[in-house]
Structure 1
Amino acid sequence: MELLHKVKRNYKAQFSDDPIMVKASGRINLIGEHVDYNDGFVFPAAIDKGIIVAIGRNEDSCCYATALDFEETYRFGLDEVSKQNNGGWRNYLLGIIHELQKRFLPLGNFNMVFAGDIPAGSGLSSSAALENSIVFAINTLFDLGLCREEMVKISQKAEHEFVGVQCGIMDQYASMFGKKDNFLLLDCKSLDVVSYEADFDSHELVLINTNVQHTLSDSAYNDRRNVCEKISSMLGKKALRNVSEEELTTLSGKITLADYQKAQFVIQEIQRTQRAAICLENKDMAGLGNLLFSSHEGLSKEYQVSCDELDFLVDMAREDNGVIGARMMGGGFGGCTINLVKKGEGQNYIEKVEMAYKNKFGVTCSVYHVSISDGTYLLNE
């Protein structure tokens, strides 16, 4: 693994000792977008792209963390952990440490080097992978005894408090618990999960990156969550997971049409996700593809988290006989589409899309073929 050797080589060049090595995976989500913070069902899988961390103890009076991708090193003391203005990657690290300190866990000073191969802003959860890699590495180094579920919740809380994104649990969970060659139907209320083999019969998944980077804390992500919580509260429910479309109609005229449509999307997306699991299990690829297209239509028109570039790619997919389903993936406002493409048709479709996208927007899109992998784990060379 080139990335593994790069991280370890840089760590040893700086600190000499042999580090603990951890990898946390990015994730894709087949369907079930913006429903995790509504206690809904999501259908993610970990992928072979991720973040690798090298970590070791030191006897200094402070900690050192190097982000190779940014060519930056940060020196800080454990007694001065606080959210940084425009802190970028530092706030992910500091947020994790802050959560561990709140639990009065015995931390010591450490050296850390990390890097990743997840394209930033692509909707493949580089942030969750970074959080999970850090908390898993620190937990291992200092033998803190945290279970994976506790680490997932620490990662999520760090993103809430230090990064400013009120995310649901899906990204951190998929990155931590991912299972090779399987999608996870995750109930975000109970955290119960059922694995489904990632077998698309005579089709394959292709990701196309708009190369429009989303920044969730700068987008309307938190506003969407606030709308959902407001409507749930008006109906006396904890989350939209517990609201039916019939119950939602009682609010017609009492809330804006835009807010009504956002809630309607969430309710329908939860239903689509459960149906998608049945389609995958039964090898009903046509049914699954239709659900993907319907999901994007709702994300674009009702939830309003798409953008021109994402809509353009999905529209092209609709018009191509080699593609049976596509939608935007991730928080929105940029990032990737996920496409269900007939095997043997992929290359022709990709070439067509690349040319049309460049002609339309004047920039290139990027195409990824990813493998479904395990989540977060210790690396052994």
Structure 2
Amino acid sequence: MNRIYIYSPLRVSFAGGGTDISPFPEKYGGAVLNVTIDRGILIKYINDEKDLEIASRDFLRSSITGSGGNIAEKKLLEIFNKSGINYGKIMINGDVPPGSGLGSSSALMNSITMLKYEILNKELNKYELAEESYNIESNHLGIILGRQDPYAVSLGGFKFMEFTDRGITCEKFAKNSFIDELEKSMFLVYTGKTRASSDALREQAEKSKKNDRNTISKLLSLKDISYSIRDSIKSQDFDRFSQLINTGWEIKKTLGSNVSNERIDNIMARARSLGATAARLLGGGSQGFVLIVSKPENLDYIEKGMTKHSKFVIRISFDYSGTRRISPF
């Protein structure tokens, strides 16, 4: 019985989120800094020669070809059915709740897309995988998203990415002592709720389309911060790295009326009172995971303190491989 396992890591974005959402990057160019982490989406496929079934406790319930289901379930089945894949069962498992600001929808689409090509025994490179995944999310599923997530997840690693009307460029950072220090300097705090990414980003996207001067000015500032934070990595300046994360968040939270809230502000304030050097909400806004950064020697103390404010506080490690097929367990 044919079995295929596909894994896509989630991502943490340090700067530039929002500058990758059209039409801004086509007009002004976007820039982001992110890293993939050791939490992700795992898809298992088994060809049992029965009607295609997709099941997930997180993203879906269960849907079988020809049995109905909601719109999202039907559209996922369509991706396979249109390619002539009508049999087997697909099981989706995620390490964190969907809609939590870590690029889980793009991780899912990357895995779904790679699985389709693996079943068909066809090849595509990581850039092609990201582009097709982006098109599925944007055009087929109608999700508002930037180009950062599908490329971040597909390519993997610690990287600086630029988006223009001419295409996408990616500068990867090799592991070194400073990157290792950063890896030991951060953890995530869950706000307790998730959100639909499109809802969080819709206000910004609409203002950008209208060429709202205030919004464009803020996005240009976020773009500049991305270049500066890239330079802080190259110069191995931890204090500057932390400062720029904070500065970026102060701008980011003004891009929409629902980007931040009292719960998020309280989590960040408590983390800083315990000694954190930086804090920001990940993703489009309103709910999900807050990134906490501190000096490595203070991390354990701050992390333990934050468990009093969230039931889900997790350390993270960096992932350097991106979306890939893995061996069965």
TM range (shorter): 0.7 to 0.9
Alignment check: 8 A CA contact 1:128 1:172 kept: yes
Choose which of 177, 199, 205 in structure 1 pairs with 2:155. 177
Q: Which runs of 5+ in 1 are unaligned?
A: 1-16, 232-258, 358-363
> Is structure 2 residue 53 aligned with structure 1 residue 64?
yes
> Is structure 2 residue 15 aligned with structure 1 residue 27?
no
Greater mean deviation of Cα atoms: 326-335 or 157-166: 157-166
> Is structure 2 residue 32 aligned with structure 1 residue 42?
yes
Distance 1:368 1:95, change over 3 A: farther
Q: CA deviation at 1:302?
A: 4.2
Distance 1:327 1:267, change over 3 A: same
2:234 aligns with 281
What does 1:237-316 align with in structure 2 at a 5 Å threshold?
Answer: 259-304=212-257, 305-316=259-270
Alignment check: 8 A CA contact 2:45 2:91 kept: yes
Alignment check: 8 A CA contact 2:101 2:288 kept: yes
**CA deviation map 1:175-216 (0-9, x unaligned):** 11103xxx1101122311101246164761111111121112
Q: CA deviation at 1:142?
A: 0.6
> Is structure 2 residue 312 aligned with structure 1 residue 366?
yes
Alignment check: 8 A CA contact 1:95 1:162 kept: no
Identity of aligned residues (%): 22
Q: CA deviation at 1:95?
A: 6.3
What does 1:348-363 align with in structure 2 at a 5 Å threshold?
Answer: 348-355=301-308, 357=309
**CA deviation map 1:264-317 (0-9, x unaligned):** 221100110111011012111111111111111112234442222222222334
C-alpha distance in structure 1 between counterparts of 2:255 and 2:180, whole Å: 29
Alignment check: 8 A CA contact 1:94 1:162 kept: no
Q: CA deviation at 1:220?
A: 4.2
> Is structure 2 residue 135 aligned with structure 1 residue 150?
no
C-alpha distance in structure 2 between counterparts of 1:308 and 1:33, whole Å: 21
Distance 1:332 1:135, change over 3 A: same
**CA deviation map 1:108-160 (0-9, x unaligned):** 53432221212333211221111111110110111233332222122212222
Alignment RMSD: 2.6
What does 1:103-252 align with in structure 2 at a 5 Å threshold?
Answer: 107=85, 109-179=87-157, 183-189=158-164, 190-197=167-174, 199=179, 201=181, 204-217=185-198, 219-231=199-211
Distance 1:265 1:303, change over 3 A: farther
C-alpha distance in structure 2 between counterparts of 1:118 and 1:95, whole Å: 26
Q: CA deviation at 1:42?
A: 0.9
C-alpha distance in structure 2 between counterparts of 1:117 and 1:21, whole Å: 15
C-alpha distance in structure 1 between counterparts of 2:195 and 2:108, whole Å: 17
C-alpha distance in structure 1 between counterparts of 2:244 and 2:307, whole Å: 25
SS in structure 1 at match of 2:186: strand
Alignment check: 8 A CA contact 1:124 1:330 kept: yes
In structure 2, what residue type is equivalent to 1:296? Answer: W
Alignment check: 8 A CA contact 2:59 2:98 kept: no
In structure 2, what residue type is equivalent to 1:47? Answer: I
SS in structure 2 at match of 1:280: helix
C-alpha distance in structure 2 between counterparts of 1:176 and 1:97, whole Å: 20
SS in structure 2 at match of 1:272: helix
Distance 1:92 1:51, change over 3 A: farther
SS in structure 2 at match of 1:278: helix
Greater mean deviation of Cα atoms: 302-311 or 205-214: 302-311
Alignment check: 8 A CA contact 1:96 1:131 kept: no
Distance 1:323 1:284, change over 3 A: same
C-alpha distance in structure 1 between counterparts of 2:77 and 2:306, whole Å: 41
C-alpha distance in structure 2 between counterparts of 1:91 and 1:41, whole Å: 34
1:73 aligns with 62
Aligned residues: 314
SS in structure 2 at match of 1:339: strand
Higher alpha-carbon Rg: 1
Q: TM-score, normalised by structure 1?
A: 0.75
Q: CA deviation at 1:318?
A: 4.0
C-alpha distance in structure 2 between counterparts of 1:347 and 1:66, whole Å: 37
Distance 1:230 1:283, change over 3 A: same
> Is structure 2 residue 277 aligned with structure 1 residue 324?
yes
SS in structure 2 at match of 1:208: strand
SS in structure 2 at match of 1:51: strand
SS in structure 2 at match of 1:167: coil
Alignment check: 8 A CA contact 1:92 1:130 kept: no
The structure whose residues are more often strand, as a share, is 2
